[in-house]
Amino acid sequence: YALNHITVPRTSREQFSSAKPLDLDDIQKGDLLFYRINSKAISHVGIYIGDGQFVHSSVPGSYVRVERIDQEYWEKYFAGAATFLQ
């Protein structure tokens, strides 16, 4: 659905720099969550699905996983939330 209705850059870094930033308290389903893992640059992105959860694929070609945004690991690397939706 999203790919047919909005334009999203390919890489997580490009997405982070061009999306509208959001406070974590204001995220809604479909918003993006960005992470800095093993570097100072944005290196990972997930899609918020509601109820404190997001979906992501940690390795290209692997299964899509559902995670909680309040898990210690994800909180440690959290860089920000943003949206391409109006």
The pLDDT value given to residue 53 = 98
pTM of the model as a whole: 0.90
pLDDT value at position 62? 85
pLDDT in tens, the chain (86 residues): 666 777 888 899 999 999 999 999 999 999 999 999 988 999 999 999 999 999 999 888 889 999 999 999 999 999 999 998 76
User: What is 41-72 written as a DSSP string?
Assistant: S--EEEEEEETTEEEE-SSTTS--EEEETTSH
Asked if residues 22 and 29 have their Cβ atoms less than 8 Å apart, the reply is: no
The pLDDT score that the predictor gives to residue 85 is 77
pLDDT score at 58? 81
